[in-house]
Copies of this chain bind each other. A is one copy, B any other.
Amino acid sequence: MTVAVGIGAWSRRHMLDVEGLSRDEIGRILDMAVEMRIARAERRHRSLLEDEVVGLAFYEVSTRTRVSFELAAKALGATTVDLSVAGSSVAKGESLVDTLRTLERTGVTTLVLRHGSSGAAHLAVRTTGLRVVNAGDGIHAHPSQALLDALTLREAFGTLEGIRLVIVGDVVHSRVARSNIHCLLTMGALVRVAGPPAWVAGFEEWPGIDVATTLPEALDGADAVMALRAQTERGAILPPELAEWRLDTERMRHADPGAVVLHPGPTNEGVELTAELANGPRSLIGRQVENGVPVRMAVLALVAGAA
């Protein structure tokens, strides 16, 4: 069944990265997410994906991403199956490719894959006929996170055009940062990255990206600040000057008076930002999580050709 949900005829078979999406395409997905939020509240589209079988294959721990993809799929009537439930055949030495081909052959139509290896989702596309949604691959990409961040910022400012965002912290190990940079530059936002030198190394060569070397410089004129946690599971080493980069209410005075705070979660309050800031009136962290389900409803409908 294909039901137009308001954005006209356009679909993608996969959602691997934000890179390569046009400004128009990103705008359509955000519009579709808004429509999906309303549809969910009004109990519409509950059979939209009733012929889809969504396989959730999370090889790294997750709460918000896994739960929101699962609830997005169920809200649209898809059947879900969780690969992680009872352990996997990994213990018998099975490769990722073999496991994904098995899922395809059992009738799974859409794979939602999180994996520690950058490129895992592309591997799934090359080796199976599954529709693939990348739910985070190593340090490479996390497109649905970038899309929900973009929706959150668009709600706050009415547009993404000209918005000045600074990403602070362990940028180099962050797939969230990379996908956000692609998304926001495409949408016409201005993006700066900042953090201890080892955590922003190489970003000065990214066209259109500004690198700041102190927190006051980083925050200067910012409309929005996205804090990142240290990805110690990807080899990040906590630098001695880490405390100089902790965001708090006092330091936020360097930013625009109306500046907002984002974080992809989970936060380490007191490390990359204070609890006061994370839970204060400037924080959009809760709104980011709320936008996760409608954005993922839109993504699942899009790859299924049902949107």
**With a CB–CB cut-off of 8 A, which chain B residues contact A286?**
101, 105
Q: How many chain copies does the complex carry?
A: 3
Report the bound CA distance from A90 to B265 in whole Å: 12
Which of A43, A94, A108 has the most C-beta atoms of chain B within 10 angstroms of its own C-beta? A94
A93 at the A/B interface (Cβ < 8 Å)?
yes
B-side contacts of A70, CB under 8 Å? 81
Nearest-neighbor residue (CB-CB) of A286 within chain B: B105
Q: Are A265 and B63 in contact (CB under 8 A)?
A: no
Contact pick for A64, options B71, B102, B289, CB 8 Å: B102
- Residues A61 and B81 in contact in the complex (CB < 8 Å), given A266-B94, A266-B98: no
Asked if A293 is an interface residue, CB under 8 A from chain B, the answer is yes
In the complex, which residue of chain B has the Cβ closest to the Cβ of A40?
B107
- Name the residue in A62, A101, A106 with the highest tally of chain B Cβ atoms < 10 Å from its Cβ: A106
Q: In the complex the two chains form, is B64's CB within 8 Å of A89's CB?
A: yes
State whether the Cβ of A126 lies closer than 8 Å to any Cβ in chain B: no
Nearest chain B residue, comparing its CB with the CB of A105: B289
Is A118 positioned at the interface, with any CB of B under 8 Å from its CB?
A: no
Min C-beta distance of A274 to chain B, whole Å: 14
Q: Provide the bound-state CA to CA distance between A254 and B83, in Å.
A: 39
Chain A: interface residue total (CB-CB under 8 A): 53
* Interface contact A290-B105, CB-CB below 8 Å: yes
- Shortest distance in angstroms between A2's beta carbon and chain B's nearest beta carbon? 15
A89 in contact with B61 given A40-B107, A105-B286 (CB within 8 Å):
yes
A106 to B294 CA separation, bound complex (whole angstroms):
9
Q: Does A66 contact B (CB under 8 A)?
A: yes
Minimal Cβ-Cβ distance residue in B for A51: B43
> Does A88 interact with chain B (Cβ within 8 Å)?
yes
Whether A102 contacts B53 in the complex (CB less than 8 A), given A62-B86, A86-B58, A89-B61, comes out as: no
What is the minimal beta-carbon distance from A35 to any residue of chain B, in angstroms?
16
Residues of B near A106 (CB, < 8 A) are 64, 67-68, 71, 289-290, 292-293
Chain B min CB distance to A266 (Å): 4
Query: Which residues in A have some Cβ–Cβ distance to B below 8 Å?
Result: 40, 43, 51, 53, 55-56, 58, 61-64, 66-68, 70-71, 74-75, 79, 81-94, 98-99, 101-103, 105-108, 229, 233, 265-268, 286, 289-290, 292-293
